[in-house]
Chain A
Amino acid sequence: MQLSYFRRVAAGGAVAALAFAGVGAFTATPAYAATSKVSVVHGIPDTPVDVYVNGKKTLDNFKPGDVAGPLNLEEGDYDIALTKPGEPVGSAILKVDNAAVPGGANISIAAHLDAAGQPKITPFVNDVSKVDAGKARLIVRHTAAAPEVDVRAGGTPVFKNLTNPNEAKGDVDAGKVKADVVLAGTDTVAIGPADLNLKEGTATIVYAIGSAEGKTLDVVAQTITGLHSAPGGVPSGDGGQAGTGVNTWWYVLTGAGVLLLLGGGVRMATARTGRK
């Protein structure tokens, strides 16, 4: 009894140590290196995985529909491998070697199905430029085993002819919008409708995942905050009653004063010279 308890604790410790080592590899970053923020999105139905980066387990039992990160990754090439939970990295079900992570970027790595239903890994660079005040960014990524689609907001197509593994994006008024995904050029709803709450100053990234054939189409969402801009100004008065500082007449008065002083002084001086 006691022994098995110990064994379990020991096993748990080993997993924790592995996970920690994985994170350590990510975070032991020299201050001068250009790091990128990297998130991982799981869009393969019914397939929980362990995620290995450069041979080290980074995510344990990562479930479909989950988003991990962001991690701070140093610029460079990375080997990414996915295994069934608990299996060694040698028996990866999906891997990408030498995936290039540029410096100073914000990246999402999606594990998903391609159009034909085969698992694959696609990196996306996230647009984290500022949005105007009052706006939100909507990014839609087609990462499902499904044909070409249109994305509609309030029944109107906003992004057309989106194919796997591509994205469409736009800055829109912040607020709620009812969105759905239809087969391109049709009214055949593939996903949704769903209420999207697009918060001002954020980017909402929606991944279409799963398989049309397997009837597992769904969405995964990722939100990036902090993209807001301040308003252009705060105009809050046109009456003038609270005006401080001086008016035109002040300059006239000052000018006149200076002229009078100068004029008077000159006359005094010439008068004195004249008397001599």
Chain B
Amino acid sequence: MTVRNRGALAALAAGVAALTVATLVACGSQPAEDVGADEAANLATATPAPSAGATDGPAVPVTAGELPAGAEIVPPVRLAIPAIDVTATINAVGINKRTNEFEVPPSVDKIGWYRYGPGLEAEAGSVVVAGHVDSAQQGKGAFFRLRELDQGDTLTATGSDGKVRKYRVVAREEYDKTKIPLDRYFARDGKPRLTLITCGGPFDAKARKYRDNIVVTAVPA
């Protein structure tokens, strides 16, 4: 075997080794596959609103035209997910005026509840809570392991009324942030459900942003 030949063989071997490592890394970095996407979509199918009764009821609905009173909303105040060792305080949050985005609490061990959407008392719609997966300054966040949740895992949300409500995970999905159907997750109609959101997917170190959102959908258990 000539020297030249040996060099070529070595190059081939190195190439194979490099590609093998690359393949292994790529496989290992794949996010867990989505589960229950159809089920989550079905939950969002609109339920007829009470006022829609106008079309099939025998009488035209008549209401006293009083100024709207504040409805009784039960904010969630505490979340426990034993499967991923999470117990966290929930703060009521709204919209960041500058960015028009969900105002996730700056403290990564806290979770934000979207106060404009339904509360735990709601008989329809999506109760949305979002928490940090991590932060550059504070490290791992409350939802660092959210993507490990699977169908059938249970969690509890405690309301400001002190009542503990139990939920069962039916779906875990990962979406590119530019394609996530947020209208569906922030819907105020459809079956009652709890939607948990955090970040995930590949991290852009320059923009300090994750590409994706992880969305877990749970229903009352």
Contacts and interface: CB of A to CB of B under 8 A. Distances in A.
B68 A233 contact: no
Contacts of A132: 100
Contacts of B49: 225-226
Interface stretch (B1-9, B77-85, B160-168): B1-9
Interface string A1-26: 00000000000000010011011000
Interface string B174-194: 000100001101101100000
Q: Range of interface residues on chain A? A: 35 or more
B112 to A, nearest CB: 9
A253 B22 contact: yes
Interface in A19-59: 19-20, 22-23, 27, 41-42, 58-59
B192 to A, nearest CB: 17
Contacts of A62: 62
Interface string B134-164: 1110111101100100000000000000000
Q: Which of B5, B18, B97 has the largest number of chain A CB atoms within 10 A?
A: B18
A234 B101 contact: yes
A68 B104 contact: no
B100 A231 contact: yes
Nearest to B145: A242
A237 interface: yes
Contact of A246 (B26, B68, B139): B26
Contacts of A268: 5, 8-9, 12
Contacts of B64: 65-67
B7 A267 contact: yes
B156 to A, nearest CB: 21
Given A69-B60, A233-B182, A257 B139 contact: no
Interface stretch (A81-89, A144-152, A195-203): A195-203
A197 B136 contact: no
Q: Range of interface residues on chain B? A: 35 or more
Interface string B1-39: 010110111111111111101100110011100000000
A228 B62 contact: no
Contact of B62 (A68, A226, A257, A262): A68
B68 A239 contact: no
B131 A245 contact: no
Contacts of A238: 134-136, 208-209
Q: Which of B10, B11, B17 has the largest number of chain A CB atoms within 10 A?
A: B11
Interface string B31-69: 100000000000000000101001111111111111111
A248 B213 CA distance: 22
Contact of A264 (B15, B19, B51, B136): B15
B130 interface: yes
Nearest to A29: B55
Dominant secondary structure at the A interface: mixed
Nearest to A200: B116
Nearest to B144: A242
Given A238-B135, A242-B133, A254 B19 contact: yes
Interface string B98-131: 0111101000000000101000000000000011
B67 A197 contact: yes
Contacts of B144: 241-242
A241 B140 contact: yes
Interface string B185-212: 1101100000001111111010011110
Contacts of A174: 116
Given A235-B209, A253-B21, A226 B134 contact: no
A254 B22 contact: yes
A67 B135 contact: no
A231 B58 contact: no
Contact of A197 (B4, B68, B183, B210): B68
B172 interface: no
Contact of A59 (B10, B60, B70, B130): B60
Nearest to A22: B60
A244 interface: yes
A202 B16 CA distance: 62
B81 to A, nearest CB: 16
A236 B133 contact: yes
A242 B108 CA distance: 14
Nearest to B103: A231
A207 B65 contact: yes
A14 to B, nearest CB: 14
A179 B202 CA distance: 49
